[in-house]
Chain A
Amino acid sequence: MAKVITITSGKGGVGKTTSTANLGTALAGLGNKVVVVDADIGLRNLDVVMGLENRIVYDLVDVIEGNCRLRQALIKDKHEAELYLLPAAQTRDKDAVTKEEMIELVDQLREEFDFVLIDSPAGIESGFKNAIAGADEIIIVTTPEVSAVRDADRIIGLCEAYEKGQPRLILNRLRPKMVRSGEMMSVEDVLQILAIDLIGIIPEDEDVITATNKGEVLVLDKSSRTGKYYIDIARRINGEEVAIDPIEDTPSLIERISNMFRGGR
């Protein structure tokens, strides 16, 4: 029976899809059978980020409307054997599914997988509500920036109201230099406002842009620090106790040299 986790944020563009793709890949790499579900109907991105867009034949809406069987819509990942994607529909919008339909779909997925990760759309309306409907747990992604934190706070309140328990936080795109110079909110500043448990910190990394454009996931790049931090989060989701790394802004000289020798993927 799977654990169903929805990754949401309120604010758009803070890293939900990137996080879902990386965490799904990392959890599969740890030996779990994982499905990542794109619940952003009409603005689908998870398939692009994972490089699987050419393989889409059926999508989530097709499954719900009975145009195909669930199995036909699941796309096997290019790299991880036990990772599957259920893409969203691009030519429909959020009104195409109801909460009840999402719950039913999620229950079907529960039977087959160890983890179901649902990539939520931005916002607080029906798209978001559908994305959390079947969730056991919620992870909120935010950046250390006033409007993102405000929106995350709103989402936390809604999670309480929908009785989804206390969500956990991924703080994304942190820039330690700017925090030191007082130009960016620190981890402490964010936690002071949101007051929920932190499950991981991901520093700002240009490689994310490159990887997204290539349809590659950083977790699979052994030299990527971002990939490593996502793997740490996956290990925590998997139940391991992993200390949260105090983020330095440049890898140490020793790290950089050993990265050179290890090379890329």
Chain B
Amino acid sequence: MAEHVAIKGARGGLRVVVDDTCSWDDAFAAIQHQLSHGANLLHGMSVSFDMGARTIDSTEMQSLYAVLQTYQLTTADIQADSSEVRQFARAVGLTAKPRSIAHTNAVMPVAPAPILIKNLRSGQVHKHLHGDLTLLGDVNAGAELIVAGSLVVFGRVRGLVHAGALGDRTAIICAIELAATQIRIADVRARAPEHDAHRTPEIACIEDGQIIVHSWEEYRR
């Protein structure tokens, strides 16, 4: 189901790419699923919905608008080949554009994985949607760190970390102290178990659809 909709990084924001070959019911359900899982990711970002060559009627556009309202995404713009779809979008108050070739073929340039030297404080949110990230510092309780690729924290994680935020389930999270309140990889979430004080560095990854945390020694083997 999740394959019908993909969230991709785009210049200056995010692009929600909606499969134009499946039924609208499937696509619509997938959109709702992605939006509910991606709330943290989308917050504060400029978002566009790429409808491809799909045609939908005005009632379907209104139900899409209702969902966008729930997630406070009514400033999103709709990109569609069909001028009718663009008309329906404008009728409900969304902005709409035709898709440009440049847009569809643009590949997000993968920057070399930067090192961020910072302690993320409670209430701060840092998003890095260009690939992997190394953080030299802590993620304090109440802070959020969202990364499209894998994440290495050379410090303590006590807050929320989300790797593979655009859907990459192969992303991993490494930390010297992984005491996170919540770990997320792609669309999978896990709550950290009650841990004791003696910790080793750990690595979290997805195995069989679940987040598993290994000690770094274990992982190497």
- Residues of A with Cβ closer than 8 Å to B? 150-151, 153-154, 156-158, 160, 192-193, 195
- Cβ A150 vs Cβ B119 within 8 A: no
Distance in angstroms between the alpha carbons of A71 and B156 in the assembled complex? 51
Return chain B residues, CB-CB under 8 Å to A150: 122, 141-142
Return chain B residues, CB-CB under 8 Å to A158: 123
Give me 20 A-to-B residue pairs in the complex whose CB atoms sit less than 8 angstroms apart, sorted by A's number. A150-B122, A150-B142, A153-B121, A153-B122, A153-B140, A154-B121, A154-B123, A154-B142, A156-B121, A157-B120, A157-B121, A157-B123, A157-B124, A158-B123, A192-B156, A193-B138, A193-B140, A193-B141, A195-B119, A195-B138
Distance in angstroms between the alpha carbons of A11 and B124 in the assembled complex? 18
A146 and chain B: residue at smallest CB distance: B141
Return chain B residues, CB-CB under 8 Å to A193: 138, 140-141, 158
Return chain B residues, CB-CB under 8 Å to A157: 120-124, 143
Return chain A residues, CB-CB under 8 Å to B122: 150-151, 153-154, 157
Distance in angstroms between the alpha carbons of A158 and B158 in the assembled complex? 19
Distance in angstroms between the alpha carbons of A101 and B70 in the assembled complex? 39
Neighbour of B142 across the interface among A153, A160, A195, CB < 8 A:
A153
- Residues of B with Cβ closer than 8 Å to A? 119-124, 138, 140-143, 156, 158
A161 and chain B: residue at smallest CB distance: B124
Distance in angstroms between the alpha carbons of A156 and B138 in the assembled complex? 14
| Top-3 shortest CB links A-B | A157-B121, A153-B122, A154-B122
B156 and chain A: residue at smallest CB distance: A192
Distance in angstroms between the alpha carbons of A153 and B138 in the assembled complex? 12
Query: Could you tell me the distance in whole angstroms from the C-beta of A149 to the nearest C-beta in chain B?
Result: 9
Return chain A residues, CB-CB under 8 Å to B138: 193, 195
Return chain A residues, CB-CB under 8 Å to B141: 150, 153, 193
Return chain B residues, CB-CB under 8 Å to A192: 156
A157 and chain B: residue at smallest CB distance: B121
Distance in angstroms between the alpha carbons of A203 and B140 in the assembled complex? 26
B124 and chain A: residue at smallest CB distance: A157
Query: Could you tell me the distance in whole angstroms from the C-beta of B3 to the nearest C-beta in chain A?
Result: 38
Distance in angstroms between the alpha carbons of A225 and B140 in the assembled complex? 34
Return chain A residues, CB-CB under 8 Å to B123: 154, 157-158
Query: Could you tell me the distance in whole angstroms from the C-beta of A187 to the nearest C-beta in chain B?
Result: 17
Return chain A residues, CB-CB under 8 Å to B156: 192
Instruction: Name the residue among A150, A153, A157 with the largest chain B CB count within 10 angstroms.
Output: A153
Distance in angstroms between the alpha carbons of A150 and B143 in the assembled complex? 10
Query: Could you tell me the distance in whole angstroms from the C-beta of A188 to the nearest C-beta in chain B?
Result: 13
Query: Could you tell me the distance in whole angstroms from the C-beta of B206 to the nearest C-beta in chain A?
Result: 29
A158 and chain B: residue at smallest CB distance: B123
Distance in angstroms between the alpha carbons of A193 and B140 in the assembled complex? 7
Query: Could you tell me the distance in whole angstroms from the C-beta of A34 to the nearest C-beta in chain B?
Result: 31
Distance in angstroms between the alpha carbons of A154 and B144 in the assembled complex? 12
A192 and chain B: residue at smallest CB distance: B156
Return chain B residues, CB-CB under 8 Å to A195: 119, 138
B141 and chain A: residue at smallest CB distance: A150
Starting from the known contacts A154-B142, A195-B119, 11 additional A-B residue pairs (CB-CB under 8 Å) come to: A150-B141, A151-B122, A153-B121, A153-B122, A153-B140, A154-B122, A154-B123, A157-B120, A158-B123, A192-B156, A195-B138
Distance in angstroms between the alpha carbons of A192 and B143 in the assembled complex? 16
Distance in angstroms between the alpha carbons of A151 and B123 in the assembled complex? 9
Distance in angstroms between the alpha carbons of A90 and B184 in the assembled complex? 47
Distance in angstroms between the alpha carbons of A154 and B142 in the assembled complex? 8
